[in-house]
Structures are given as C-alpha cells and as structure tokens.
Amino acid sequence: MKIVFAGTPEFAAHAMRAILDAGHDIVLALTQPDRRSGRGMHLQASPVKIVAQEKNIPILQAVTLKQNHPNQKKSVEAQEAYQHLSTVDFDAMVVVAYGLILPQDILDLAEKNGRYGCFNIHASLLPRWRGAAPIQRAIESGDRQTGVSIMQMDAGLDTGGVVLKKALDISSEETSASLHDRLAQLGAALMVQTLSSLEQDKSLTATPQPLDGVTYAEKIQKSEAEIDWGMSAEKIDYCIRAFNPFPGSTSFLNGEPIKLWNSRLGSDQAMMHTKKPGTILSMSSDGVLVQCGQGVIEILEMQKPSGKKLAASVCIGPGLVESVFGQ
C-alpha cells in the first residue's frame, strides 16, 4: 500500500521502519520542524526525518496544518502543505506521535478517492489515557496494565473508533523508558497487522470507544518533577519511575539539587518509623532507604549536577545517613 506517514519521535520511527520492512511504500513523511537541542543548541532532525532521509522518502515539515491559523505566515504555510498533500497519490495515512493536530480537511483528504482514512497508534488502552503522555501517566497512576490501540482518527482528541488493541502488563520495576520501548515494538506490529488486514479485506471495523472510563494524560511539566516526601512511598515510587527519562524526578540534599532515576518500595513497609519524611534511614549496596509520609522507599539510582547516573549509595556516600532530602 501507498502510505503517508506522520510522526516525529523514536516511537514513531520504530513504526515507520516496520511499515517499510513489511513492504509498504511510504510516499511522504510529515514530521515536525528541526529543533535545537543539546549543549550546543544545534538544529536536530527528528528520528522520523532521519529514517525518511535514509530511505529517500519526500519530507514535509510544517509548523501547523491549520489553514485558518491566526498567524498569517503560518496559515499560508499550512495552505501550501495541504496543496502539496492533495497532489500525493496514497491509500491511507498513518499517524504516530506527530505532535500536530490534524484538522478536518486533512482527515477528509485521507478518505477521498476511495482511500481508507487515517490510522493512529496510541500507547494506551483507549479510552483510558487519551492525550499527550499516556505512558508516563499510566505508571504515575499505578496502573497494572496498559497497551496499544490502533484508532481510526477523527477530529477529536483520541476519540476515534478502535480497530485493534492489545494489552501489556506494567511491572513493579517499569520506567517510562522501558515501557516506551515495549509499547513501540507492540504498536509497530499492530499497525503492520492493521495495514495487512486493510490491504486484504479492503475495510476494517472501528469499534466506538465507550463513554465510561475516559481519562486524559496531560502533557508532563517540569514543575511536576520535584518529589514531595510527604506522599506515600508507593506514590513516590510511581513518580520516580514515571518521570524517567523525562523530566527526571528531583529533590535537594544538603542544599544541592539531585536527580532520582530509579526506585522500589522498601522491604520493611510494615515497620513504623518516626523520622521526618525525606530522612535517609540507611544504605546498602543496592540503594538508599528513605522515610516517606507513609512507608519507606529505596532509591536505586541518582545523579548529581553535571555528574553521571550512579548507584544511589555510590552517588551520595555513607556519611549522609540521617540527612534529609528536600533541604
């Protein structure tokens, strides 16, 4: 099949490579404009653009696709993008973490002339965790299960009918980084399966999402990263693992900022401690035990400013037992 592919990060690039490996022809890649990043703030191409360049796939990088954008320059750019897309011969459109809203005129274009429409890989079991950060919010909320939904897109925020879905269990050691990689692999496989079914059957049944169970995964903000040690050990553990790799949970120790990258619940949750929340209770070769509002958490990996990620006990050393995080 001839596919227009819209996506930006590595999660999308993984699906893009799988679609190409399955023998489909990606005739155009839509991806966000290059961004400045790194210490030198150099312009960096998105992972999807890199794949497209490797495979000699035409690339379209629009700031917006809204033709009625209040900024006239952006509106003109969107009109030009629409005109370009309208000249492309394709069968279906695949969208994966593109980062731009697809307006109704683009969705209509994907259904014209006998085309099959626009399909999206979403990293949750819809209707739970619609929105920008489903992977992080699932871990932060203590979900025991998530998955991938292949959705036929409409103009709403992740409201389209689901044509295929599959669940994954979330382990007690899962970080957003590890879950991202597993979901990327699953999403790519499900999209290839979807396109294969579409090619063979010429149609797919999209099941409307139920009205019950809708939740929204708001975009992760850096302001969420600082740990509140008055929370329960369980909740803090969720947050640390959810915010790995971005933005990285933070606290202060003896006035110095420190990143907390990995954790698990302490083995003595039933024991009573009277120390102030944030107090380092003890250390072991595996980690640092810290008093929380309820229970004890074991911090496994930390990072000082300008330093490397290290085992927590190595990072702070044994002399800081009885010190208090957050001060």
Nearest C-alpha neighbor of 97 from the set 126, 66, 134, 63: 134
How many whole angstroms separate alpha carbon 237 and alpha carbon 173?
9
First-residue to last-residue Cα distance in the chain: 59
Helices 10-21, 176-201: crossing angle, 10 deg rounding: 30
262 vs 249: CA distance, rounded Å: 9
Q: Is 179 annotated as a binding residue?
A: no
Give the closest residue to 253 by CA, choosing from 319, 316, 301.
Answer: 316
| Helix 47-54 with 10-21: angle, nearest 10 deg | 30
Q: Is 125 annotated as a binding residue?
A: yes
127 labelled as ligand-binding?
yes
Number of helices and strands (H, E) in the chain? 8, 17
CA 140 – CA 138 distance, rounded (Å): 6
164: left (phi over 0), alpha (psi -120 to 50) or beta: beta
Exposure b/e, 165-180, CB count within 10 A at least 16 = b = beebebeeebbbebbb
> Rounded to an integer, what distance in angstroms lies between the CA atom of residue 205 and that of residue 192?
16
For 311, the token pair is 């085992």
Annotated binding site: 124-127
- Give binding residues for (6S)-5,6,7,8-tetrahydrofolate as ranges: 124-127
